[in-house]
A and B are shown apart, each in its own frame.
Chain A
Amino acid sequence: MTVYLLTRLVRWGSGLLLILFISYAMMFYGAGDPIKRMFLDQEQGSLVLEEEVLEALRKKYGIDQPFPEQFRRYLAKLAVGDLGFSIREKRPVNRMVQVRLPISMQIGFAAVLFMVIVGIPLGVWAALHHNSAVDQFIVGFIVFINAVPIFVITPLLLWFLVVVVGIMDVPYGWKGLFHGQVILPVIVLSFGAMPTVIRQTRAAMLDTLSQDYIRTARAKGLTSRLVIFRHMLRPVLIPVLTSVGLIMIGLVNGALFIELIFNIPGFGHIAITALRTVDYPVIMATVFIGALIVMVGNMLVDLAYPLLDPRITR
């Protein structure tokens, strides 16, 4: 068990390191001189800074160092939780993340909750009525949601709800998790990984339905509700749990679009602004946090898996 945990930890830890290295190298060789970028918006023909001043600034921020040294310093800072200093906004990235990330996380959790509450029952329902009209409708719904990207479905849905039906205004901005405006973004965000949840549930349910112990449970006269909740829920939930990584990726990718469309000042909003203005400490931070969220999700699943399914002993 300890060996299993350790190999998992090394696997994901080294992966995160690789991602950091690649993105840092890209930024280092691609973004241009950060000190010059820092004064870019004050340029207007009056850039009077002497080369010595620039040099002193480079020294101050440690940008005069070679790549390995800079990357080492970056990692050392990251290890104590310092994400660096935004070039364009001229404030610590930590502070930006502290304000914005919780907003995205609230929406993300709400979306996961919606996915579980709606997705798992739909998957169970489809499997219980295998090959019936209900099943075909749900499978068709999965294909639809899975194929059409979020940035296509959202405007069409908005147009339908706002212009055609006229039951709502365009939700714009962030007014807290319990404001009605949050409903549409959460639902649309949950579409990203909803097909995975439904499909996994349905497949696992179909598989479990044909097991001998279910037949035994039925044969000894248990009600079908009891059979479903007592005997089937756990084997069905395990495969769903394995797709947590995919769900996380869906949430992070979806946040980019959702927050742009609905103008929600969250994590995705930071990422897009930073990419557009080439604010590379912020870009690094968003890639790091995005990868961390997914990898921690994956690692937790790896760790929880042997606990849920005792057959996995390694």
Chain B
Amino acid sequence: MAATVPSDRLTSLSQPEEVAQRNLWKEALHRLFLNRLATLGLIVVVLFILAGLAGPYITPYDFLEQEIDNALAKPTVQHWLGTDALGRDILSRLLHGARTAAFVGFFTTAISLFIGIVLGGIAGYVRGLADEFLMWLTDVTMSVPGLLLAMLMNTALKRPIAAWFDDMYMQTKNPFYLDTLWLDFVLVFGALAFISWPGFARLLRGQVLSVRETLYVEAARAIGVDERRILTHYIIPNAIGPIIVTVTAGVGGAITLESGLSFLGIGVQPPNASWGSMLSDSFSLWISFPHLMIIPAATIGVIVFAFTFLGDGLNDALNPRQVIKK
């Protein structure tokens, strides 16, 4: 249809085209809301993000404050979800853990996505030897038990980086180098991104390979649309759907991995709160005090489900070929 239009008239065509695109996204959103589970997932994810952002400011107690006299309390009016073995308010720790989970989820996914875009994009465009090499690298990385590698990286890098910070403090006396709590987070982001980038790289490569070969890109080139417009108006809108879906699933996956690491005692360390370590802390106590175990376990479960449902819903909603199922 567009191929018959002379290139000097393209500017006049751009207006209706953009309207059509906005409708495409609205259509996708509409389809997402038709899916009840996905809508529920979206609500939980939004609440989770809000809790992660606002968590430390709305907690009723400090997440480290201990009331030893009131340890292991069942849920009461003062402590809605009870207290743990050290008398710390569980609700406050849960909200603080939401911040940990949100940080890890989003930063890990962002780093993995960045690596994926760079490597996958290069492999998809250059092809040939670079592509072969990337495929080999993803194969190798994916065939290693990821958790072991992440734990190895976390353990190996913690010591030298902490020592380096000590050195820097000795040399500069800058108090910035004293606060090493956030280093745990950086290490966890790095270690988890190190094992989760191959999925993104493969996806990006596949998307680049498939979209650049499509007829509509060829047609756009034939009628003289310039490369930047091809990228922004043809390739990205058509390639972004699966990427959004994978990113959603990736955030959920990173949260699971982080709780797993903390559960094994290697992720985000105390005094920072993490759902995984809350769960493993409850381990000698859960027969007498099941709420210590059930609360973090249920929280992880609900969040992971929310991301799964949202991912599935987005997958259906962003695929225009999908037949709407009621």
The minimal Cβ–Cβ distance linking B326 to chain A, given in whole angstroms, is: 14
Within residues 88 to 143 of chain A, which ones have a CB less than 8 A from any CB in chain B? 143
Pair A162/B287 contact, Cβ less than 8 Å: yes
Selected contact of B140 from candidates A18, A32, A276, CB within 8 Å: A18
Docked pose: A272 CA to B263 CA in angstroms: 11
User: Which residues in chain A, 232-286, are within 8 Å of chain B measured between CB atoms?
Assistant: 245, 249, 252-253, 256-257, 260-261, 271-272, 275-276, 278, 283, 286
Asked if B4 lies at the interface with its beta carbon under 8 angstroms from chain A, I say: no
Tell me if A148 and B304 are in contact (CB < 8 A): yes
B129 nearest CB across to chain A (Å) = 15
A29 to B280, CA, bound (A): 30
| Size bracket, chain B contacts | 35 or more
Q: Which residues of A contact B301 (CB under 8 A)?
A: 147-148, 152, 156
Instruction: Check A26 for interface membership: any CB of B closer than 8 A.
Output: yes
B169 in the interface (beta carbon within 8 A):
no
The smallest beta-carbon distance between A156 and chain B, in angstroms, is 5
Q: How many Å lie between the Cα of A120 and that of B82 in the bound state?
A: 44
B160 within 8 A of A: yes
Query: Interface readout for B260-288 with A: 1 if CB under 8 Å, 0 if not?
Result: 10011110000000001001101100110
Residue of B nearest to A261 (CB): B283
Tell me the residues in window 148-181 of chain B with beta carbons closer than 8 Å to chain A beta carbons.
148-149, 151-153, 155-160
Could you tell me the distance between the alpha carbons of A291 and B139 in the complex, rounded to whole angstroms?
A: 12
CB atoms of B279 and A30 under 8 A apart: no
| A287 sits at the interface (CB 8 A) | yes
Segment of B95-103, B205-213, B290-298 in the binding face: B290-298
Q: Which of A170, A286, A290 contacts B287 (CB 8 A)?
A: A170
Whether A291 contacts B156 by the Cβ 8 Å rule is: no
B216 CB within 8 Å of chain A: no
Bound complex: CA of A302 vs CA of B158, how far in Å? 38
- In the bound complex, residues from chain A placing their C-beta under 8 Å from that of B147 are 253, 256
A275: which of B152, B252, B282, B297 is its contact (CB, 8 Å)? Answer: B152
- Least CB distance, A283 to chain B, in whole angstroms: 6
Task: Judge whether A190 is part of the interface by a CB distance below 8 angstroms.
Answer: no
The CA of A23 and the CA of B290, in the complex, are separated in Å by: 39
CB closest chain-A residue, reference B263: A151
Which partner residue on chain B sits nearest A158 by CB separation? B286
Q: How many residues of A contact B (CB 8 A)?
A: 48
Q: Which residues of A contact B159 (CB under 8 A)?
A: 30-32, 278
A298 lies within 8 A of chain B by Cβ? yes
Q: Does A9 contact B (CB under 8 A)?
A: no
Within 8 A of B (CB), among A273-314: 275-276, 278, 283, 286-287, 290-291, 294-295, 298
Query: Closest Cβ of chain A: how far from B123's Cβ, in Å?
Result: 17
Chain A residues 9 to 24 lying within 8 A of chain B, measured CB to CB, are 11-12, 14-15, 18-19, 23
Cα(A162)–Cα(B287), bound, Å: 8
- Report the separation of the CA atoms of residues A256 and B259 in the bound assembly, to the nearest whole angstrom: 14
B136 close to A149 (CB less than 8 A) = no
**Does B144 lie within 8 Å of A151, measured CB to CB?**
no
**Complex contacts, A32 vs chain B, CB 8 Å:** 159
The reply to whether B265 and A272 contact each other, CB–CB distance below 8 Å, is yes
Is B91 part of the binding interface, using a Cβ–Cβ cutoff of 8 Å? no
- Quick check: B156 and A159 within 8 Å, CB to CB? no
B153–A26 touching, CB < 8 Å: yes
How far does the alpha carbon of A170 sit from the alpha carbon of B280 in the complex, in Å? 16
Cβ contacts A153-174/B at 8 Å (1 or 0 each): 0011011001100000010000
Task: Point out the residue from B155, B263, B280, B293 that lies within 8 Å of A159, measured CB to CB.
Answer: B293
* A27 located at the interface, meaning its Cβ lies under 8 Å from any Cβ of chain B in the complex: yes
A15-B139, A147-B308, A151-B279 known; A26-B145 Cβ under 8 A = no
Interchain nearest-CB distance for A24 vs B (Å):
10
Which residue of A is nearest B290, CB measured? A159
A122 to chain B, nearest CB (A): 20
CA distance A18 to B293 in the complex (A): 40
For A30, give the chain B residue with the smallest CB separation. Answer: B156
Q: Kindly provide the distance from the CB of B272 to the nearest chain A CB, expressed in whole angstroms.
A: 18
Asked if B293 contacts A155 (CB within 8 A), the reply is: yes
B148, B157, B298: residue with the most chain A Cβ atoms closer than 10 Å: B148
Q: Evaluate contact between B260 and A159: CB separation under 8 angstroms.
A: no
CB–CB B148/A286 < 8 A: yes
- A30 pairs with B145, CB closer than 8 A: no
Residue of B nearest to A251 (CB): B145
Determine the distance from Cα of A272 to Cα of B284 in the docked complex, in whole angstroms: 18
B152 close to A287 (CB less than 8 A): yes
How distant is B149 from chain A, measured CB to nearest CB, in Å? 7
State whether A11 and B139 are in contact (beta carbons under 8 Å apart), knowing that A149-B300, A257-B263, A276-B266 are contacts in the complex: yes
| C-alpha gap A51/B86 in the complex (Å) | 43
Inter-chain contact A294/B305, CB cutoff 8 Å: no
Instruction: Please indicate the chain B residues that have their CB under 8 angstroms from the CB of A257 in the complex.
Output: 260, 263-264
> Can you name 16 extra interface pairs (CB under 8 A) apart from A11-B136, A271-B151?
A11-B139, A15-B136, A18-B140, A29-B156, A30-B159, A143-B308, A149-B256, A151-B260, A156-B293, A156-B297, A253-B145, A253-B148, A257-B264, A276-B265, A286-B148, A287-B152
Which 5 pairs from chain A and chain B are nearest by CB? Answer: A30-B156, A15-B140, A26-B156, A252-B145, A290-B145
Interface residues of A (CB under 8 A from B): 11-12, 14-15, 18-19, 23, 26-27, 29-32, 143, 146-149, 151-152, 155-156, 158-159, 162-163, 170, 245, 249, 252-253, 256-257, 260-261, 271-272, 275-276, 278, 283, 286-287, 290-291, 294-295, 298
A-B contact pairs, 14 of them (CB 8 A): A14-B136, A26-B153, A149-B259, A151-B260, A152-B279, A155-B279, A155-B283, A155-B297, A159-B286, A245-B143, A249-B143, A257-B264, A290-B144, A298-B143
